[in-house]
Structure 1
Amino acid sequence: MNPSIACNPTAQSKKAWRSRLRAVRLAASSGASNNAALEAHLDALIGRLAPRSIGFYWPLPGEFDAREWIASWLVADVSRRASLPAIAERHAPLHFYFWTPGAPMREGHHGIPEPASPEAALPDLLLVPCLGFDLEGYRLGYGGGYYDRTLAAWPGEALPLTVGIAYEACRIDEGVPERGAHDLPLDAVVTEAGAHLAGRLAAR
């Protein structure tokens, strides 16, 4: 497979890219070597950024499963905290609640597990799953707009750093199409090839 799916320069809509990238990402995520390399690059970047609290995601098919890495990250320093998002209602901002390995979960919106006994969290770094991405840090997701709404309504004084999790095969070299004025670039995208710095980390 070509390292980037964006070998075809023909402009496509977000809907067309989503349809194409689902199968590509599923294939990329099935490679043990891809996931091991991605985890190593994630570990290096997070070690450099040194957040105290990370919000991540419950993996859907084709998404990198960060739970084992998060569990190891927590064990290494007991002062660290991790959290998962919950959807209060459709098309509303996400709310993050503290999570630990083995914590009881319940089924939330879209059938995605979320912490059963929610204790509100305000993470200082978010791991964000990507269906596609470009090297400017723009992300293609499922189209629900949850992360855009979440960052727009963020209650803290400063927005958390945002680190996309993706596979190189899902890189869109011509750029994520149909960017809106509300779209914010991620601060980095980690793949099995390395950490692509963007947004607020581009100058570091």
Structure 2
Amino acid sequence: MALSRETLEAHRKAIDASLEYGFPNLHRGVVAFCWPYKNEYDARFLARRLRERGARTVLPVVVAPKTPLVFREWHPGVKLVPGVYDIPYPIESDELLPDYVLLPMNGFDAGGYRLGYGGGFFDRTLASLAKRPTVIGVTYELAKIDTIHPQPYDIPVDYVVTERGIYRRDGDELVFLGAPQPPGDASVLASPVCYQGEFQSGH
């Protein structure tokens, strides 16, 4: 995605705000995020703030090809080593199951299906979990396409968050909810009911 550094930073801040205001229970659970690759959304800033408020944050770890991922705790200062694509991952921290997954998307369609990097790791992982986490795709508006032509093994996300705001998957399609407002704003989108009423973190 050919975006300037200034644009990427503005998009990151907008996505951070939608995640914080639209999903106010994130800090009560275990939140998985991905180390930024190329020009993907950088969740590390949000992860630090969520940890300060009580969340535990984890990074995905590739164990072997064609096997589910595991998730190890990330915190500032944790020991990291380079993995697939030289993306860092923790090696000595606790293994946890996420309540929420912030999932980067190279593309997304009207049904909430995503384009990744072709490894199938997240689809395989989500299918293997006894309790499915809430999956929130994070990307930019320019990544929206008509369809990715999903296959039977593709698993759609529950929500998509872009710099524009929040989409929720209702039935077989994404519905745009808008951009949530900071606490205290009179907008209906500021209400946790809009985004969190359908699920609880369990923590």
TM class by shorter chain equals 0.7 to 0.9
Relative CO higher for 1 or 2, CA cutoff 8 Å, sep ≥ 6?
1
Matched, 1:180 2:155: no
> CA separation of 1:83/1:108 partners in 2, compared to 1, >3 Å: closer, same or farther?
same
User: Is residue 56 of structure 1 aligned with residue 38 of structure 2?
Assistant: no
Deviation per residue, 1:154-179 (Å, 9 max, x gap):
1x3x201100010001111x222x21
Return the letter of the residue paired with 1:123.
P
* TM-superposed deviation, 1:36: 1.5
Structure 1 pair 99/64, CA: closer, same or farther in 2 (3 Å)?
same
> Is it true that 1:27 corresponds to 2:6 in the alignment?
no
Alignment-derived partner of residue 168 in structure 1: 141
What value does the CA root-mean-square deviation take over the aligned residues?
2.2
Structure 2: which amino acid aligns with 1:90? P
Q: 2:90 aligns with which of 107, 115, 131?
A: 115
Q: How far off its partner does 1:147 sit? A: 0.4
Q: Which amino acid aligns with 2:11?
A: N
Count of residue pairs the alignment pairs up: 174
Extract unaligned runs of 5+ from structure 2: 176-193, 199-203
Using the TM superposition, name which of 32-41 and 126-135 deviates more. Answer: 32-41
Contact kept in structure 1, 2:78 and 2:93, CA below 8 Å? no
**Per-residue deviation, residues 142-161 of structure 1 (Å, max 9, x unmatched):** 1111101111111x3x2011
Which is worse superposed, 67-76 or 27-36?
A: 27-36
Unaligned 5+ segments in structure 1 are: 1-24
How far did 1:65 drift? 0.7
Candidates 111, 115, 136, aligned match of 1:140? 115
Q: Which residue of 67, 70, 73 maps to 2:47?
A: 70
Q: TM-score if structure 2 supplies the norm length?
A: 0.78
| Distance apart, 1:89 and its partner CA | 1.3
Amino acid at match of 1:114: Y
Q: One-letter code of the match for 1:109?
A: V
TM-superposed CA distance for 1:118, in Å, is 3.3
**Which letter does structure 2 place at the counterpart of 1:67?**
R
Identity over aligned pairs, percent: 34
Matched with 2:57 is: 82
| Cα distance, 1:28 vs structure 2 | 6.7
Asked if the contact 1:186/1:199 (under 8 Å) is kept, the reply is no
What TM-score results when the alignment is normalised by the length of structure 1? 0.78
Rounded Cα–Cα distance in structure 2 between residues aligned with 1:51 and 1:129: 22
